[in-house]
Chains A and B, each alone.
Chain A
Amino acid sequence: MGLSVQNLWLIPLLPLVAAAIGALTPRTGRTLAAGAAILAMSFSFLLSCGALVTALANPATHATSNFAWFDLGMGALRLGWLLDPLTAFMCVMVTFVGTLIFIFSTGYMHEDANAKQFFCFLSLFASAMLGVIVANSLLLLFVSWELVGLASYLLIGFWFHKPEAAGAAKKAFITTRIGDLGLLLGMLWLYDSTGSLLFYDGGHGVLEAGALSALTAHTALGGFALSTIIGLLIFCGAVGKSGQFPLHVWLPDAMEGPTPVSALIHAATMVAAGVFLIARVYPLMSADQALAHVPFHALTVVAFIGAITALMGALIAVAQNDIKRILAFSTVSQLGYMMLAIGVGSWVAAIFHLLTHAFFKALLFLGAGSVIHAAHHEQDIRSLGGLRSHMKVTFATFAIGMMALAGVPFLFSGFWSKEGILHAAHEWDVSRVPLLFGLAAVVLTAFYMTRLVAETFFGKARSHASEHAHESPASMTLPLVVLAVCAIALGFLGTPAFPWLQAKLLGETEVLGHSLLAGSGLMMLSVVLVALGLGTGWAIYGRVTREKSTSPDPLAARFPGVIAFLGARMKFDELYAATVFKLNAATATFADVLDRFVWDGAVRFLARLGEFAGVVNREADEDGLNAGFDAGSESLRGTGKAYSRAQTGDAHGYLRIIAIGFVVLVLIMMLGGNR
């Protein structure tokens, strides 16, 4: 049973209703809030499946339903919904993973007094995220995009009484807003040059041939096509949201939020929204590909930023000790892979990896949540250890997630989606750098995940908390099992032999498989690299496990400088503190000083000037005109009065003073400013 595009708005509406219910119930109504959230999400999932059925029936069409938001000039500002396979697959993923994480949260947040608010915010997030996906207008997408950011802000700072959580929430909001300003400018430019913000509008949309050829024909700054500049401005938004270099600094801090939040927002869905956005506007991003005379193409920038992010994230993850920070940097790195894929021209490979990653990374975060829950909020892997025997389900599912992320061949989804990206990078003829960075990150990914699993689950318990850990309740383990199944099964939707998902995304009706042997050289290489990463990781951390939580890290003992630098996240925060923050603070001081001393000073000066003029005036009156009538003593007394009068704060006196001041201001205006 299909869901038509006219009814697509129901998908984001249901969670919004749940959020409203959550907001209006009293604090004791946690069961109601959680129940409404889970129910709304499950129904949205069913509706999304219906939308998928509709979309797959005609995968090549972009079905739209547009409407006027408000009157503007001769026309109106129009928004709309869009249904195509990209929308449908994303909806299904978000609602499915979302439902599982909501269920997990009922267990995880069981003891939190504020749980009802948690479900309210989660539902708000889900609604906004689904809004991003179903939007057929860059403006509606932007609106939802900002609301997603708000939900992320509220959920990172959910434990707002902790200063770190409150600070991390603000950092996330501000950092992503920097990128969003680029997105805003790109949107304004696009609107101004095409007169529309609808993606598809029966030939008049911004992603359709007419607008695109106009945008590429127009040359703007620096010899670039207009489409390149607008595309790169939109990409700024994606860089902020998807934690790409150089705006990735907020994502690791976002781990201050409750772990289900990290799983849903900062691993599976919101951070992937940037990738989704670039995939959505891919026709615009790639419009300049045919132009030969431009300095470089928009997608080239995307590929390099993605490649740098993929390698940088993996490097930093090697030296982190907090289980969630390792996973956070791993997310940064994987998002880099996705951007890299779009940059080298294969947005379908990016979306395939986005979908598989959503499942196995949500699995890993929920697994980490299960560990943290069991170990009484101990997150340092050096203080865990030996959990394999206490938490069998968590361990087994976590291991599946770890192998999917590491790209263990053939059985796990991550392998297939990552292969797709590496092959696309291999075929890119602009530069080898993205491929090399991608391959290097393959080794590192396998390595740091092996370290994570070995330190957490193997060896012996190194703290009281991990010694007495016990398996989490079924509400938490059940989602883990379902996600683990998906982390394996999903890969088979897009193997080279049967690339069903890719074909549907591209709107092809027939699925054309390749021989597995085609391009098998690269596949062999990456298999070897995965094995290398797993092997080294096990050799260093698994063969001989850590004795005490305070024992030195074997890698840090060998390369202290490098590991310290990576452990400090390559000092990006320090760099920004020394530059951007300083500049910001200096500007604020400048503005304040300008006001307090220059402008207010000028007003005071004019007032004093006027006061002086008043005194002179009075003196002239008393001494000059009246002197003939009054005796000398009387005159003296009058002068004294005048002096004191100038200082009583009498309104009339001031009025005259200010009036004279204004004369001077007018003169300044006329002589200087108003030519």
Chain B
Amino acid sequence: MPVAPAAAFPLLSLIIFSPWAGAALLAMFRGVAPSVSRTLALIFSCGPLALGLVALNAFDPGRVAPQFVEDSIWMSRLLNVHYHLGLDGLSLVLVLLTGIVTPVALLASWRVTHYPRAFGILFLLLEGAALGVFLALDFFHWFLFWELSLVPAFFLIKLWGGPAASRAAYQFVIYTIGGSAFMLLGFAALYVATGTLDFTQLAQLAADGVIGAKLAALGGIWPKAVFVGVFLGLAVKVPLWPFHTWLPSAYAEAPVGGSMFLTGVMSKMGVYGFLRILWPIFPAQLHAATPCLLALALAGIVLGAYAAMKQTDLKRMVAYSSVNHLSYCLLALFAVSYATGRTAPTAAAATAALSGTIMQMFNHGLSAAALFCCVGILESRSGGKRGLNDFGGVRTVAPIFAALCGISLFSSLGLPGLNGFVGEFLIFRGVFGLDAGAATIACFGLLATAIFLLTFWQRVFHGPRAGVAAGEFADLSGIEIAPLLPLVVLMFILGVWPQLLAGLINPIVSSWAAHLSLP
């Protein structure tokens, strides 16, 4: 296998390691003023966005293969472990999302008073790890980034989180590590069978039917166990229903910036893994499991939304809405896999479904982060209260806050004209063409989402002034508007001009959809 020529300039490494360099630098500045460390963390967190924009500028959307590739042997030729980075349309979208959400989450955490320097360091570590996941093309360091992201997330939740944060942090980390342990086992078996950990090579081997044959040669439950192992690691991360029970408490107990990053970026790592690893490497196994998996995705969509309706803690409500929104992504992928191998033409529907998935990942990142930010503002204004019935009439006293939160809510419920609609429409259009029944059932999720999000807005912002809004309640300050404004502006831009995203992902998605086949 020829090694691709090394990029002249290690742009992707720079994207990953610039926040880590920032973290190291920040760790050396002992005893600086909180405002300085906050500012430094913010500046370093913007590095990946700036570099991502450089990549966007040089990116050739017409090319399907990864670009800016860096590939060198990391551990001896015998082990065949490569340091392999690459950027295609899917990665680029997620790099940009990470680049946007991280500074915004730091801005939303501006009021963190306990150890702001440590907070910034952990956040930068988290950002770098997530970027590594989106850019790595070799399982070895991909998995390192994947696991490393848990460490800062754990401390962010445990040390800066709410009253029940300790338990939530443990549950989050252990549940996720538990899932990853099986993924590691799965890949170990895969490595034994094929001798490589490179995603591109593995996908090629899978398409040629080599992986299936080699695993079948192991006999017994191994062919299934390897798939299930990798699947579990990803399913917990997204999470796929019913592996989601860690999510509401983790999102609810995390500090506001942590919740924004968890839902905005880390939940995308799981979906990304499904798209980059599970689907290309195990196409036949995934196809065989889809009848069951479609049902789980639908349960996530419908029951996730209905469970949200029942929550009285606003953060848990938004957390459940994330379960619902991410299940749309998985539904689309499973439907594509389900229809693979059919004789009827499915390319158009598959293109729509997969485009919708990627757009939904980006759009959900924006809207869910904005919603957690809004709940965080309510929390900080009321001394930690975040109950559905703790507020009332906020719109009377804080019209700007109401407008920004309202736009985020309507973006989240898929109102046309805002970003959320395009992705959801494409997912529904695609899934309908591949499995009309699943699309019909998923419609109930749309309805339930509208009900609980409007209930949120009505209880908190409408009606007579109540709770903290009954007293002195100033409208948003500049530092509170700062994180919300860019998100809301992007919601409008992408709602009206989805070509910005579609232009980046359409070639790669079309190529996936054109080569749907089972080995």
Contact = CB atoms under 8 A, between A and B. Distances in A.
A69 B225 CA distance: 44
Contacts of A564: none
A659 B176 CA distance: 10
Contacts of A649: 166-167, 170
Contact of B173 (A162, A587, A651): A651
Interface stretch (A172-180, A366-374, A499-507): A172-180
B303 A70 contact: no
Given A170-B454, A192-B349, A161 B396 contact: yes
A670 B221 contact: yes
B348 interface: yes
A666 interface: yes
Given A71-B502, A73-B510, A177-B447, A142 B416 contact: yes
A139 to B, nearest CB: 8
Contacts of B428: 184, 188
Nearest to B176: A658
Sorting the interface of chain A by its residue count into under 10, 10 to 19, 20 to 34 or 35 or more gives: 35 or more
A142 B421 CA distance: 11
Contacts of A143: 416-417, 421
Given A160-B463, A659-B181, A662-B182, A72 B310 contact: no
Interface in B304-321: 304, 306-307, 309-311
Nearest to A650: B170
A80 to B, nearest CB: 16
Nearest to B285: A674
B506 to A, nearest CB: 4
B446 A181 contact: yes
A142 B429 CA distance: 14
A191 B428 CA distance: 11
B395 interface: yes
B414 to A, nearest CB: 9
Interface stretch (B6-14, B114-122, B435-443): B435-443
Contacts of A162: 463
Interface stretch (A456-464, A539-547, A589-597): A589-597
Nearest to B455: A170
A603 interface: yes
Nearest to A189: B432
Nearest to B305: A591
Given A147-B417, A588-B306, A592-B307, A666 B232 contact: yes
B443 A181 contact: yes
Q: Interface centre among A144, A177, A181, A658, by most B CB within 10 Å?
A: A658
Contact of B228 (A185, A188, A666): A666
Interface string A651-675: 1001100110110011001100111
A72 B506 contact: yes
Contacts of A655: 174, 177-178
Contacts of A167: 458
Contact of B292 (A181, A595, A673): A673
A605 interface: no
B196 to A, nearest CB: 25
B410 interface: yes
A599 B433 CA distance: 32
A166 interface: yes
A274 interface: no
Interface string B418-439: 0001100110110011001001
A397 B398 CA distance: 41
Interface in A105-138: 117
A292 interface: no
Given A72-B355, A655-B177, A674 B503 contact: no
B310 A591 contact: yes
A163 B463 contact: yes
B182 A651 contact: no
B499 A70 contact: yes
B358 to A, nearest CB: 12
B352 A174 contact: no
A195 interface: yes
A424 B503 CA distance: 51
Nearest to B443: A181
B175 interface: yes
A150 interface: yes
Nearest to B459: A166
B461 interface: yes
Contact of A192 (B432, B443, B510, B513): B432
Interface in B338-359: 347-349, 351-352, 355
Interface residues of B, number: 81
A117 B403 CA distance: 11
A595 B506 contact: no
A237 interface: no
Given A181-B443, A666-B225, A160 B462 contact: yes
A630 interface: no
Contact of A588 (B309, B502, B510): B309
Contact of B463 (A166, A195, A600, A673): A166
A163 B464 contact: yes
Contact of A599 (B242, B416, B421, B446): B242
Nearest to B303: A591
Contacts of A71: 499, 502-503, 506
Given A73-B351, A658-B175, A591 B306 contact: yes
Nearest to A603: B245
Contacts of A142: 416
A485 B395 CA distance: 41
Contacts of A117: 399
Interface string B151-183: 000000000000000110010011101110110
Contacts of A669: 228, 232
B393 interface: yes
Contacts of B476: none
A74 interface: yes
B148 interface: no
Interface in B175-232: 175, 177-179, 181-182, 221, 224-225, 228-229, 232
A665 B229 CA distance: 11
Nearest to A159: B462
B509 to A, nearest CB: 8
B177 A146 contact: no
B165 to A, nearest CB: 13
B502 A166 contact: no
Given A166-B458, A184-B428, A674-B224, A603 B440 contact: no
Contacts of B493: none
A69 B499 contact: yes
Contacts of B292: 673-674
Given A146-B416, A590-B306, A595 B351 contact: no
Contact of B462 (A150, A161, A673): A161
Nearest to B169: A651
Interface in B370-409: 393, 395-396, 399
12 contacts: A27-B399, A72-B506, A73-B351, A160-B462, A599-B244, A599-B245, A603-B246, A658-B174, A662-B181, A666-B182, A666-B225, A666-B229
Closest 6 CB pairs of A and B: A166-B462, A143-B416, A592-B310, A591-B306, A73-B351, A70-B502
Given A588-B309, A603-B175, A603-B246, 10 more contacts: A161-B396, A166-B462, A170-B455, A184-B446, A188-B429, A189-B436, A192-B433, A591-B310, A594-B303, A674-B224
Interface of A: 27, 69-74, 117, 139, 142-144, 146-147, 150, 157, 160-163, 165-167, 169-170, 173-174, 177-178, 181, 184-185, 188-189, 191-192, 195, 584, 587-592, 594-595, 599-600, 603, 649, 651, 654-655, 658-659, 661-662, 665-666, 669-670, 673-675
Interface of B: 166-167, 170, 173-175, 177-179, 181-182, 221, 224-225, 228-229, 232, 242, 244-246, 248, 288-289, 292, 302-304, 306-307, 309-311, 347-349, 351-352, 355, 393, 395-396, 399, 410, 415-417, 421-422, 425-426, 428-429, 432-433, 436, 439-440, 443, 446-448, 450-451, 454-455, 458, 461-465, 497-499, 502-503, 506, 509-510, 513
